[in-house]
Amino acid sequence: MLRSAWRSLLHHKLRLVLSGVAIVLGVGFVVGTLIFTDTLNSTFTNLFSATTSDVVVTPNEDPAASGSGRASRNGPPLTLPADLLAQVQGVDGVAKAGGQVLADGVSIVGTDGTVLGTTGAPTFGSNWDDDQDLTPFRLTEGRGPAASGEVALDSVSAEKSGYVLGDSVSLVSPDGAMTATLVGVFRYGSSGNLAGATIAAFDTASAQQLLLGGRDEYTEIDAVASEGVSQEVLAAAVRAVIGDAATVRTGQEAADQAAADIASGLAFIDIFLLVFAGIALFVGSFIILNTFSMLVAQRSRELALLRALGATRGQIVRSLIAESFGVGLVGAVLGLGVGVAVAFGLQSLFAAIGAEIPTGGLVLLPRTIIVGLLIGVLVTVIAALAPALRASRIPPMAALRDDVAIPMRSLRLRAIAGGILLVLGLGAMTAGAMVGGGAGSQYVGVGVVAALIGAIVLSPAIAGPLVRILGFAFPRMFGTVGSLAVQNAERQPRRTAATASALMIGLALVSALTIFASSAKTSITQVIDRVVGADFLISSQTQRPFPDQVTATVATVPGVAAVSPVKIVPAEVEGQGAAVVGVDSSTFGEMVTLTFTSGSLAGLGTGGMLVDTATATGAGVGIGDPVTVRVTTGTADFTVTGLYDPAGAYSGYVVDAAALAEAGVETGASFLYVKAEPDADPTQLQEAMTAALVDYPTVQVLSQVQFREQITSSVDQLLLVMVMLLSLAILIAVLGIVNTLVLSVVERTREIGMLRAVGALRRQIRTMVVLEALVIAVYGAVIGLVLGVWFAVALQRTLIDQGIEVLDIPWLGLLLFLVLAGAVGVLAALWPAFRAGRLNVLEAISTE
Amino acid sequence: MTQDTIAASHESPTAGPAARAVELTKVYGEGETAVTALDSVSVDFGRGRFTAIMGPSGSGKSTLMHVCAGLDSATSGKVYIGDVDLTVLKDNDLTRLRRDAVGFVFQAFNLVPTLSALENITLPMDIAGRKVDQEWVDSVIDTIGLRDRLRNRPSQLSGGQQQRVAAARALASRPQIIFADEPTGNLDSRAGAEVLSFLRRSVDDHGQTIVMVTHDPTAASYADHVLFLADGQIVDTMDNPTAEGVLDRMKGFDGKGRRS
Ligand SMILES: Nc1ncnc2c1ncn2[C@@H]1O[C@H](COP(=O)(O)OP(=O)(O)OP(=O)(O)O)[C@@H](O)[C@H]1O
Ligand SMILES: [Mg+2]
C-alpha cells in the first residue's frame, strides 16, 4: 500500500508541486514572522543590556519624573551626586567604579544638514570612559574625547552623518546649536546596532555641562567587583554603604530589567506581527487543506479501484496519511528556507519606511523550526484525513461507474453554525460600538475574530447563490463561456469558498485599516481646524524641547503678532504620573480654541488650571477644586477653573508655564504657536522665521496645513506598513487561486476536451477559466469588504474618545480594492487558463 | 498496400462526398516505438449515408474517425470535409470547422455536467454565438423523445438518455457529417437500439451523413454500408449489412487481427 501511495505521488507531479507550494508558503510565512520577531527582540535586548559591570546604581524612581507619554523625555534626567561615586568606590569588594552620564537630547546634524534621529528614537548624549569594563562603548577609530570641544560618535551615526575624524560636527543640545571636533568613533556593545538611536560622547565635564546643567552628577554608577566577589555580595555591600539614597542592582538584574522593559515595550510589535503570523498560518493552512482535499477527491476513482481490488479502508486511509506526511515534511523543510527570505523581506520593508531595524544576524530559534515543521506536517495530514476518510467510504463498485463522486456532507450544519457565529460576531462588534471605550474595543476585537471565522464556516453555504448573483452579467457579456464559468464556480461551493477565504480575510483587514486610517486623518484634520487658531507651528524634528531663545528669536521676526510657547512637563498630579501642559496664559487663547463645558480660560494666569472632562472624571476633580502638581524640583498649587471637551491630542492638565517655572521647571518649549499679523504674507513670513532660526537646525516652521499634513502622513505610513504585511496574505491568496484553478482544470480535463471537440476555441476556454477566477475573487472581496466596513465602523465608534471623532469611509478606495481583487483573480487565472487552452483535445477526451 | 479508393457510397453525381480521406497515414510515436495506426487509407463518406466502421481492437478505427473529424492531425495524406482540406488548417479554423460542420457522439462523457439536457443540445451553437434554429431543434428533440427531461442535468439521466441527448446535440447544429465512436458501447441492447434507430431516422428523414465506429454487428446492421479495418488498412466493405452477415465476416478477420 505504501508503495502504491508513493507511485501515485510521483505520477501526479503537477499536483504534487501544487500542494507542495501551498505548504511551503504557509510554513514560510509563519516561520518568517517568527524569525523577524525574534531578531527584533534579540537586537533590542542586546542593545540595552550591553553593560558588563557587576553592580549598577541608579537614581530612585520618581513618578513625577516619568510623567506620561512623550513628556517622559522632556524632564531633566534623574541624577546621582558625585560623592555617591566616591562612596561606591570606597566599598569593600569594589575593584573600580565609574560614573555614567547618559541622557536623551543631543542631536547630530549631518554634513548635508539633515538631522539624525527624527524617527523618535532616543538621541543620546553621553560621557566617555576609557575603561572598557565600565562602559559598553568600544572604540573603533581615533580616541576618546578628553577635552571640551571634542566628541566621539557611534559608528552608525558617524557613517550616516558623513563625518570623518577631524571634522567639525554640528550638534544640537538642549541649550542650542554647538560644534565639536570628531576625535573618535565607537561601536556600541557587540553588534554596534542602536536600532535608530544615536550617541554623541563627550568628556565627562562637557557631558555634565550639556546634559545636567553643569552639576557634577551622574545618571548611573557602575561598579566592577574584585576577584572572587560575587555580584550579589557586592550589591549587598554597596547597599549597606549608600542605604536607600539610590537603587542598587546586580549587573544581571539590571540586564534582566532592561530586557523585560524592552520586551514589554516591544510587546505591541510582537502582538502585531503574531497577528499577521496567525493570519498567515490560517490562510496557509487553508490552501493546504483545500489543495489536498481536491487531490484526494480527484483520485477517488483510483482509490475506489484499489478498494475493489481488495484494499481495506484502513489501508486506503493509512496510505493517504503516509503520503500527506511525506509531502508535508518536504514542504515544511522548504518552507523554513522561504521563511528566512520572508524575514529578510520584512526587514527591508521596515527599513524602507524609515524604521531602523537591525540588518543581518537573523535569529532562527529551535522553536521556530519545530513550529514550522509541526505546522507543515500536521496541517497537511489533517487536510488529507477528512477526504481520505470520505474516499475510503466510497463503495468499491462505484469505481466502475463513470461519475464517482465522493459523498459530501450536507452544508446545513455549516450554514447554521457559521451563521450563528457570524451573527454573534457582528453583534459583538455592534455592542462594542455602543459601549465604546476600552471595554467596547475588546468586544469589537472578539467580534471581528468570531465574524471572520463565522463567515469562513458559512461561506460554502452561501457561495453558490452569491456567485450566481455576482456573475449575473457574464452570460450576457460572454455568452455560453460566461455561464459555464459561473456554473463552474458554483458547482463546488466548498472549493470556491475555501479559495476565496484568503482574499476575504485579507480584504476585510485591509479595508478596515484603510477606513480607520482615513477616519483618523479626517478626525485629526477637523480637530486641528477647530482647535488650532495659530497660523504657524514651530517644533523640533527630534521631538525634543528646544531652548527659550527660539521663542525670543521668533518674536522679533517682523510680521509675527504673537508667539505662544507650550511646554510639556512630566509631573505627578493627584498621585498619578501625568503630562502637564504649561502655556503662556496671555497668548494661549488666541492660538487654541477649547470648548468649555464649565468655567473658562479666564483664571489661567492667576493660579487656575484647565482640565479636560475625561481626565477630570478620572482624577475626581471639578471646578474650584485645589490640585497640586509635583515636579522633580518642587510643587505648585492650582485651582481648577475650567473644564473642556477633550479633542484628540488636546487634552490633559493645562496651567500657566510661569507657575511651573517657579517650581523649578527648566524644560524648554516643545512647540510654539505663532499668530501672524493680519497683513503679513504667509509664505514670506514662514521664510523669514526659518531664516531667523538658522542656528537651530532641528527646529522647523510649519504652517497649519503643513502641520496637519505631517500628522496625517504618519498615519499613512503606518497604514502602508500594515497593508504591505497584509499583502503577503494576499500573495498567498493569489497562489491559492492558482492552485484551485489548475487543479480544477485537471479535474475537468475531459469536459474541456469535450467543449473543444464540439467547437469551443482556445480563447473561449481561457476566457472561461479567467471568468471563474474573477467571480471567485470578487466573491471573496465582497464578503471581505462588508466585514471590513462593519469592523472599521465599530472600531471608530469605540475610539471616539481617543480623538477618532468622525467616520470617513473612502468608498472610492474600497471600490478600487474590489477592482484590484478582481485583477488579482484574473492574474492568478492566467497560467491555469493558458494550460487549459493548450490541452490536446483528443488526450483530454480520453483522460481517465 | 491497398491503393484503390474504396467508395463508401454510390456517389450522387451532383454533390461530392461529405468527407474524404486520401492516402491517409497516421503514425504514433517515433523510431522503434512507432505505431502505424493508419496505413495509407483512402475512403469517401457519401452524403446522406450511414457508414459503420468495424474491425478488431487496435485496428485504427478510432484513429481514422479522429483524423477525419479534425480532432487529430494526419502524418501524411489528405482529409477533406466537403471541399475543405483539414490538413492545412490552423487550430482556430479547425475548431470552427468542427463547431460548424461536424457533430460528435463519443462512447461516454459526451455532456457538460453543469448544463441541462437542452443546454447541452444547443451547446455548439451557443459557443458559436449562433442563433438556434428553434423549429429544427424542436423536431430533433421530438425525435429523441426526451421533451419532458430537457431541464434535467446529465447526472439525472440514464446512460441511454445521455447518449440520445448527445446524438441530438450532434444533429442540432445540422452538421455536414456526424462521427460517432462506439456510441452504444456502454448501453444495454434496448438503450442501444433507441440510440441507433434515432441515428437511422436522422439519415432517412433528414439526409444526415453519419460515420459510426462499432464492435457490435447488430449496431452495424443499422448502417447502409460497413467498412472493415485491420492493421490500419481497409480490408473489406459490405453494403446493406445484416447482423449475421457482419458477424460472419468478422470471424474471418478476428484470426487475422490477433495474429498481428
Ligand atoms: N495516442 C496514441 N499514441 C500511440 N499509439 C496510439 C495512440 N492512439 C492509438 N494508438 C495506437 O494506434 C493503433 C490504433 O488505435 P485505435 O485507437 O485507432 O484503435 P481502435 O480500432 O479504435 O481500437 P478499439 O476498438 O480498441 O477502440 C493501436 O495500435 C493503438 O495502440
Ligand atoms: Mg477505438
- Has residue B4 been placed in a domain? no
Q: Best substitution site from B26, B27, B28, B250 to test ligand 1's pocket, by max atoms within 8 Å of Cβ?
A: B28
Q: Which residues of A282-298 are buried (b: 16+ CB within 10 A; e: fewer)?
A: bbbbbbbbbbbbbbbbb
Element housing B19 (H / E): strand B19-28
- The pairing of strands A608-612 and A634-644 is parallel
- Has residue A737 been placed in a domain? yes
Q: Is the Cβ pair A479, B115 closer than 8 Å?
A: no
> pTM of the entire structure?
0.76
Q: Give yes or no: residues A472 and A609 share one domain.
A: no
Q: Is the Cβ pair B112, A754 closer than 8 Å?
A: yes
Percent of chain A with pLDDT over 70: 88
Q: Where is pLDDT greater, at A281 or A773?
A: A773
Which amino acid residue places its CA nearest to atom 2 of ligand 1? Answer: B28
- Has residue A416 been placed in a domain? no
Q: Give yes or no: residues A525 and A628 share one domain.
A: no
Q: What is the CATH number of the domain that holds A669?
A: 2.40.70
pLDDT of the residue at A153: 92
pLDDT of the residue at A67: 55
Query: What's the CA gap between A814 and A810, in Å, rounded?
Result: 6
pLDDT of the residue at A190: 67
Q: Best substitution site from B35, B54, B186, B215 to test ligand 1's pocket, by max atoms within 8 Å of Cβ?
A: B35
CA distance B108 to chain A (A): 8
Cβ neighbours of residue A811 closer than 8 Å, sequence gap 6 or more = none
Q: Give yes or no: residues A553 and A690 share one domain.
A: yes
* Residue in A99, A89, A132 with CA at minimum distance from that of residue A225: A89
- Has residue A710 been placed in a domain? yes
The domain containing residue B129 runs over which residues? 46-70+99-251
pLDDT of the residue at B4: 38
State residue A556 phi and psi, 5-degree precision. Answer: -85, -10
Q: Grade residue A576 by pLDDT with cuts at 50, 70 and 90.
A: confident
Q: Is A512 exposed, middle or buried (0-12, 13-18, 19+ CB in 10 A)?
A: buried
Q: Is the Cβ pair B109, A402 closer than 8 Å?
A: yes
Q: Cell 484647565 appears where?
A: A610
Query: What's the CA gap between A267 and A95, in Å, rounded?
Result: 38
CA distances from B143 to B131, B184, B201 (A): 21, 18, 8
Residue of A750, A758, A765, A840 to mutate when probing chain B, most B C-beta within 10 A:
A758
What is chain A's mean pLDDT, rounded?
83
Residues with CB under 6 A from ligand 1: B 28-29, 35, 37, 55, 57-63
What cell was used for A234?
Answer: 557586592
pLDDT of the residue at A767: 93
CA distance A751 to chain B (A): 6
Express each pLDDT in A15-27 by its tens digit.
Answer: 667 777 778 877 8
Q: Where is pLDDT greater, at A341 or A118?
A: A341
How close is the Cα of B186 to the center of ligand 2, in Å? 13
- Has residue A403 been placed in a domain? yes
Q: Cell 421530438 appears where?
A: B142
Enumerate the residues of chain A whose CB falls inside 8 A of the CB of residue B66. Answer: 842
Looking at the CA of B29, name the nearest ligand. Answer: 1
- Has residue A452 been placed in a domain? no
Q: Is the Cβ pair B95, A762 closer than 8 Å?
A: yes
Q: Which chain A residues have any C-beta within 8 angstroms of a chain B C-beta?
A: 402-403, 479-481, 484, 487-488, 490-491, 750-751, 754-764, 841-842, 845
CA distance B88 to chain A (A): 17
Q: Is the Cβ pair B127, A758 closer than 8 Å?
A: yes
Q: Give yes or no: residues A787 and A657 share one domain.
A: no
Query: What's the CA gap between A316 and A321, in Å, rounded?
Result: 9
How close is the Cα of A25 to the center of ligand 1, in Å? 43
- Has residue B84 been placed in a domain? no
DSSP codes joined into one string, A762-829: HHHHHHHHHHHHHHHHHHHHHHHHHHHHHHHHHHHHHTGGGT--S----HHHHHHHHHHHHHHHHHHH
What cell was used for B18?
Answer: 461529405
Q: Is the Cβ pair B114, A760 closer than 8 Å?
A: no
Mean pLDDT of A658-678: 85
Percent of chain A with pLDDT over 90: 16
- Has residue A645 been placed in a domain? yes
Q: Where is pLDDT greater, at A746 or A96?
A: A96
Q: What is the CATH number of the domain that holds B174?
A: 3.40.50.300
Express each pLDDT in A418-467 by its tens digit.
Answer: 999 999 999 999 998 888 777 888 888 899 989 999 998 899 899 989 99
What cell was used for B123?
Answer: 451547446
Q: Which residues of A630-655 are buried (b: 16+ CB within 10 A; e: fewer)?
A: bbbeeebebebbbbbebbbebbbbbb
In B, residues 50-69, which contact A (CB 8 Å cutoff)? 66
- Has residue B183 been placed in a domain? yes
Cβ neighbours of residue A425 closer than 8 Å, sequence gap 6 or more = A446, A447, A448, A449, A450, A451, A452, A453, A454
Q: How many CA atoms lie within 13 A of A357 on its CB side?
A: 23
The nearest alpha carbon in chain A to B154 belongs to: A403
pLDDT of the residue at A193: 62
A704-707 long-range contacts, Cβ below 8 Å, gap at least 24? A704/A528, A704/A532, A704/A534, A704/A535, A704/A536, A704/A537, A707/A528, A707/A532, A707/A537
Q: Give yes or no: residues A212 and A83 share one domain.
A: yes
Q: Give yes or no: residues A208 and A281 share one domain.
A: no
Q: Give yes or no: residues A498 and A376 share one domain.
A: no
Count of H helices and E strands in chain B? Answer: 9, 11
Q: Is the Cβ pair B128, A488 closer than 8 Å?
A: no
Determine the length of chain A. 848
pLDDT of the residue at A768: 93
pLDDT of the residue at B7: 38
The domain containing residue A172 runs over which residues? 60-245
- Has residue A437 been placed in a domain? no
CB-nearest to A480 from B109, B126, B155 is B126
Mean pLDDT of A35-40: 79
In B, residues 140-199, which contact A (CB 8 Å cutoff)? 155, 169
Express each pLDDT in A39-90 by its tens digit.
Answer: 777 766 666 555 667 888 888 877 666 655 555 556 677 888 888 888 888 8
Return the percent helix, strand and coil in chain B, to nearest 5.
40, 25, 35
Express each pLDDT in A356-404 by its tens digit.
Answer: 555 557 778 888 899 889 988 988 888 778 777 877 776 666 555 555 4
- Has residue A700 been placed in a domain? no
CB-nearest to B72 from A750, A755, A842 is A842
pLDDT of the residue at B50: 94
* Residue in A480, A747, A226 with CA at minimum distance from that of residue B126: A480
Mean pLDDT of A225-240: 86
Cβ neighbours of residue A33 closer than 8 Å, sequence gap 6 or more = A273, A274, A276, A277, A280, A342, A343, A346
How many CB pairs (< 8 A) connect A and B?
70
Which amino acid residue places its CA nearest to atom 17 of ligand 1? Answer: B62
CB-nearest to A761 from B92, B110, B155 is B92
- Has residue B78 been placed in a domain? no
Express each pLDDT in A749-785 by its tens digit.
Answer: 888 888 888 888 899 999 999 999 999 999 999 999 9
What cell was used for A783?
Answer: 464578503
Q: How many distinct structural domains can be found in chain B?
A: 1
The nearest alpha carbon in chain B to A491 belongs to: B114
CA distance B9 to chain A (A): 26
Percent of chain B with pLDDT over 70: 91
Enumerate the residues of chain A whose CB falls inside 8 A of the CB of residue B111. Answer: 754
Query: What's the CA gap between A562 and A579, in Å, rounded?
Result: 25
Report for A63-67, A494-498, A836-840, B223-227: range of highest mean pLDDT: B223-227
- Has residue B229 been placed in a domain? yes
* Residue in A47, A43, A78, A53 with CA at minimum distance from that of residue A64: A78
pLDDT of the residue at A262: 66
Cβ neighbours of residue B144 closer than 8 Å, sequence gap 6 or more = B164, B165, B167, B168, B198
Q: How many distinct structural domains can be found in chain A?
A: 4
pLDDT of the residue at A4: 59
pLDDT of the residue at A182: 93
* Residue in A224, A157, A220 with CA at minimum distance from that of residue A184: A157
Query: What's the CA gap between B19 and B145, in Å, rounded?
Result: 29
Assess whether pLDDT exceeds 70 at residue A131. Answer: yes
What cell was used for A407?
Answer: 459523498
Looking at the CA of B56, name the nearest ligand. Answer: 1
pLDDT of the residue at B3: 37
ipTM exceeds 0.85: no
Q: Is A76 helix (H, G, I), strand (E, B) or coil?
A: coil
Enumerate the residues of chain A whose CB falls inside 8 A of the CB of residue B127. Answer: 479-481, 755, 758-760, 764
Q: Give yes or no: residues A842 and A715 share one domain.
A: yes
In the sheet with B6-7, reading across from the earlier edge strand, the strands are: B6-7, B35-45, B19-28, B76-81, B84-85
Assess whether pLDDT exceeds 80 at residue B208. Answer: yes
How close is the Cα of B157 to the center of ligand 2, in Å? 25
Q: Give yes or no: residues A227 and A317 share one domain.
A: no
Express each pLDDT in A202-213 by its tens digit.
Answer: 999 999 888 888
Q: Give yes or no: residues A187 and A281 share one domain.
A: no
pLDDT of the residue at B129: 82
What is chain B's mean pLDDT, rounded?
84
Q: Is B92 exposed, middle or buried (0-12, 13-18, 19+ CB in 10 A)?
A: exposed
Mean pLDDT of A126-143: 86
Q: Give yes or no: residues A311 and A277 share one domain.
A: yes
Q: Is the Cβ pair B92, A754 closer than 8 Å?
A: no
Report for A610-614, A661-665, B255-259: range of highest mean pLDDT: A610-614
Q: Which residues partner with A58 through β-bridges?
A: A247
Enumerate the residues of chain B whose CB falls inside 8 A of the CB of residue A750. Answer: 109
pLDDT of the residue at B9: 38
- The pairing of strands B177-181 and B210-213 is parallel
Q: Where is pLDDT greater, at A301 or B14?
A: A301
Q: Is the Cβ pair A761, B95 closer than 8 Å?
A: yes
pLDDT of the residue at B6: 37
Which amino acid residue places its CA nearest to atom 24 of ligand 1? Answer: B57
Assess whether pLDDT exceeds 50 at residue B259. Answer: no
Q: Give yes or no: residues A40 and A64 share one domain.
A: no
- Has residue B83 been placed in a domain? no
What are the residue ranges of helices labelled H in B39-187? 61-68, 91-101, 117-121, 123-128, 134-144, 159-172
Query: What's the CA gap between A346 and A33, in Å, rounded?
Result: 8
pLDDT of the residue at A9: 57
